[in-house]
Structure 1
Amino acid sequence: MAGSTPFRKRRFRKSGEPAETQVAPTDPGTGPAAPGGSALEATAVTADTAPAVPSDTETDEGARHRSGARRLKSVRDGVRKGGEGVRDVVLYITDRIIENAPRVPVRDLATLRAQFPGLGPDQLADKLISGAANATSTVGAGIGAAAMLPVPPAMPAELAAEITGVAAIEIKLIAELHEVYGLRPPGTLKQRSVAYLTSWTEERGVDLTKPTTLNAALGGQMKRELRQQIMKRMFRNLPNLMPFMVGAAVGAVMNRRDTRKVAEKVRTDLRRRAVAWDALPDLPPLERPAQPLPEATRAALEAAEPED
């Protein structure tokens, strides 16, 4: 018909050919805007050309995703900062224990036998272990009592003071057990103190057949083991900071138990290699430390020395 749009034959495209672009008719009589035009055709053309508008559901999901990502980042930052804080405390305690080890006064065998006459090696060792356990129990009770008025910034300092004091008591105990069983490590005061520190870290006696020098003992492996030991002590001692005197009771019991446990491990190891007192050569008296310990640690050590 004249004036009408010629009929376009639809041809079937073969497989692999690009699809033809459908062009909407522009004739006023048959276009989408014509009175008799199909609304469905107009909607199809508009849907193909209009930009996609996100729905309310998609917007909410995006907001939740961004909020969750922010929360996750905050948690990660908190964990990282908390880990750095714990690492700093562990490094601080490690340095203090290494610094205090050569300053711990140790009684030699002659002094111990004169102070406790008539006791054999095992009876003397029992006496020393009992005194050290009582002393560490007192330290734990004191730190627990200080937590009655908990001040969060002071709690790491309280924990560090407790672990440092208990370490000094137990290192002194280990050194004197070596004297009792005739197994004094050779070397200078610093070398022996590091050997005792290694014994405390590994919870076993010093092997005299494998003497270690100061540089070897304070190597990377020994420091890593010492930090691991301090980390275990920190987590075990966390209940000591509970308020209302609960921490005092828990600290006293736990410290007494841990000290006896370490002492028995070391004594069992030393007893297998013990040297009889009659077979011991004449050993020189032990040197006295040139520098004194901090006052609080020194008071704790004095409590560890049992009376006759």
Structure 2
Amino acid sequence: MAAPDKENAEPDREIGEIVGKLAQPGELEPAERRKLLGRLAQSLAAGARKARKSGESRGRWLADVFLSIAPRIPIRDLRTLSEHHHGLTGEQLADDLVRTAQKATMTVGAIGGALAAAEFAAPPLLLSAPAQLVAETIVVAAIEVKLLAELHEVYGVRVEGTGTQRAVAFTAAWARQRGIDPFAPATVTLAIGAATKTALRNRLLKVMGRHLTTLGPFLTGAVAGGALNRAATKRLGEAIRNDLRGKQTLPTPGKRAVDADPGPKQLDP
């Protein structure tokens, strides 16, 4: 019985590693980013074929894939965030985080849209377009979950638990487009209930539906994909910041970050 588990774990690990790299802001050359997005699309296409054979719906499969890789999304603590953003703190740091995330999702949308546009121009390759859109959806979701989690660090709204528990809580919050209330245990302990799974599935399908507009000729897909992603990430950032303001006083990147975690933090697999 161990063999099937190992067989399923290997693709998930590869997908998680690729998404983790693509979610990092500004550390990849465009050519490398395109290459990784293509590899991700191939890996996801293989998983989608298995899901179809087993009769699993695309939405449910997509949600399961994202939940499996969420713990691999790299989340920085407050001190590290400040160091990576030229010593900024408070609202200025939050501004910069949102701008960086907007640029990242815009880049993914432009790359995905350009690739989809190329496939649109070559009908025999159009069958691979859905895998490309799924890959873009997964990466955009990962970037936005990372943004949401790091905004919680900036505003001092600490979410307790293991790396996996925190990853699930942040993913659930992203599905609802809301911040987490640390004083309401249900927002964390019951984060993976049936209602939240449904919300996550619907949110991912909504993002993927948005990316269907990238299936256009020439560069219209690239323009549309980048612009739509940028606007959506900006709305998310505004909604989460409005939610988190007032829940706890903005901390400084000194004492809390050092006491809680002396170095860069990544969610445990």
Tell me, yes or no, whether TM beats 0.5. Answer: yes
Point out the structure with the larger helix share. Answer: 2
1:256 aligns with 2:234: no
**1:20-31, aligned counterparts within 5 Å?**
none
Contact 1:136/1:259 (<8 A) preserved = yes
**1:86-125, aligned counterparts within 5 Å?**
88-125=57-94
1:288 aligns with 2:258: no
Partner residue in 2 for 1:275: 249
Contact 2:154/2:250 (<8 A) preserved = no
How many residue pairs get matched?
A: 208
1:144 offset after TM fit, Å? 0.8
1:256 offset after TM fit, Å? 0.3
Q: Distance in 1 between matches of 2:246 and 2:204?
A: 28
1:290 offset after TM fit, Å? 5.1
**1:19-50 deviation digits (Å, cap 9, x = unpaired):** xxxxxxxxxxxxxxxxxxxxxxxxxxxxxxxx
Contact 1:94/1:230 (<8 A) preserved = yes
The two structures have a TM-score, normalised by structure 2, of 0.71
Partner SS state of residue 272, structure 1: coil
Which of structures 1 and 2 has the bigger CA Rg? 1
The two structures have a TM-score, normalised by structure 1, of 0.62
Q: Distance in 2 between matches of 1:189 and 1:163?
A: 23
1:221 aligns with 2:206: no
Contact 2:77/2:265 (<8 A) preserved = no
Contact 1:182/1:280 (<8 A) preserved = no
Partner SS state of residue 149, structure 1: helix
Task: Tell me which of the two structures has the higher relative contact order, counting C-alpha pairs closer than 8 angstroms and 6 or more residues apart.
Answer: 2
Q: For structure 2, which runs of at least 5 residues remain unmatched after alignment?
A: 1-51
1:180 aligns with 2:154: yes
Contact 1:89/1:156 (<8 A) preserved = no
Give the RMSD, CA atoms, in angstroms.
2.4
Contact 1:143/1:241 (<8 A) preserved = no
Contact 1:128/1:173 (<8 A) preserved = yes
**1:274-306 deviation digits (Å, cap 9, x = unpaired):** 323259753235643455xxxxxxxxxxxxxxx
For the structure 1 residues 107 and 287, does the alpha-carbon distance in structure 2 shift closer, same or farther, using more than 3 Å as the test? closer
1:257 offset after TM fit, Å? 0.3
For the structure 1 residues 173 and 159, does the alpha-carbon distance in structure 2 shift closer, same or farther, using more than 3 Å as the test? same
